[in-house]
Structure 1
Amino acid sequence: MRLLITGLNGTLAPRLAQAARAMGHEVIGWDRAALNPDDETLCADWLERVRPDAVAHLGTGTARFAAFLAARCERFVFTSTAMVFDHEPDGPHDVAHERTAKDDYGRYKIGCEDAILAASKTAAIARIGWQIDPTQPGNNMLMALDEWQRRDGHVAASRVWIPACSFMTDTAAALLTLLRRPQPGVHHLDSNADDAWCFDELARTLARRFRRDWQVQVHEDYRHDQRLVGGPTALPPLSAAFARL
Structure 2
Amino acid sequence: MDRTTLRGTWLITGLRGTVAPKVAARVVKLGGEVAAWDREAVPVDDVAVGAEFLAALRPAGILHLGMGAEEWAGRLAAHAAEHRLPFVTTSSVSVFGDAPGDPDGPFRPQDEPTARDDYGSYKARCEQAVRTAYPAAVVARIGWQADPDGLGNNMVAQLAAKAEAAGGTVRASRLWRPATSWMSDTAAALVALATSGRSGTVHLDSNAADGWTFPEIVRYVARLTGHDWTVEEHEELDHDTRLVGDEDLIPPLSARR
Name the residue aligned to 1:211: 226
Residue 99 (structure 1) shift: 1.2
SS of equivalent to 2:212: coil
Q: Is 1:115 aligned to residue 129 of structure 2?
A: yes
Name the residue aligned to 1:71: 78
Q: Is 1:106 aligned to residue 116 of structure 2?
A: no
Residue 238 (structure 1) shift: 0.4
Q: Which amino acid is the alignment partner of residue 34 of structure 1?
A: A
Q: Which amino acid is the alignment partner of residue 37 of structure 1?
A: V
Q: In terms of mean alpha carbon deviation, does 177-186 or 194-203 score higher?
A: 177-186
Residue 167 (structure 1) shift: 0.6
Residue 231 (structure 1) shift: 4.4
Residue 213 (structure 1) shift: 1.6
Q: What is the distance in 2 between the residues matched to 1:232 and 1:71?
A: 29
Whether the 8 Å CA contact 1:155–1:217 is kept in 2: the answer is yes
Name the residue aligned to 1:180: 195
Q: Which amino acid is the alignment partner of residue 17 of structure 2?
A: G
SS of equivalent to 1:228: coil
Match of 2:61 among 54, 59, 66: 54
Name the residue aligned to 2:173: 158
Q: Which amino acid is the alignment partner of residue 44 of structure 2?
A: P
Whether the 8 Å CA contact 2:208–2:247 is kept in 1: the answer is no
Number of aligned residues? 242
Q: Which amino acid is the alignment partner of residue 70 of structure 1?
A: A
Name the residue aligned to 1:138: 152
CA deviations over 1:111-145 (Å, ceiling 9, x no partner):
00011101112211000001111116322111110
Match of 1:38 among 41, 45, 52: 45
Q: What is the distance in 2 between the residues matched to 1:156 and 1:214?
A: 10
SS of equivalent to 1:72: helix
Name the residue aligned to 2:26: 19
Q: What is the distance in 2 between the residues matched to 1:164 and 1:149?
A: 21
Q: In terms of mean alpha carbon deviation, does 138-147 or 9-18 score higher?
A: 138-147
SS of equivalent to 1:139: coil
Residue 181 (structure 1) shift: 2.1
Whether the 8 Å CA contact 1:190–1:228 is kept in 2: the answer is yes
Q: What is the distance in 2 between the residues matched to 1:232 and 1:123?
A: 20
Q: What is the distance in 2 between the residues matched to 1:113 and 1:120?
A: 11
Q: What is the distance in 2 between the residues matched to 1:137 and 1:103?
A: 27
Q: What is the distance in 1 between the residues matched to 2:112 and 2:135?
A: 20
Q: What is the distance in 2 between the residues matched to 1:30 and 1:110?
A: 22
Q: Is 1:124 aligned to residue 138 of structure 2?
A: yes
Match of 2:249 among 201, 218, 234: 234
Q: In terms of mean alpha carbon deviation, does 15-24 or 80-89 score higher?
A: 80-89
Q: Which amino acid is the alignment partner of residue 186 of structure 1?
A: T
Q: What is the distance in 2 between the residues matched to 1:114 and 1:93?
A: 18
Which 4+ runs in 1 deviate beyond 4 A? none
TM-score by length of 2: 0.91
Residue 206 (structure 1) shift: 1.3
RMSD: 1.3
Residue 227 (structure 1) shift: 0.7
Residue 220 (structure 1) shift: 1.0
Structure 1 unaligned blocks of 5 or more: none
CA deviations over 1:3-29 (Å, ceiling 9, x no partner):
100000100000001111111110111
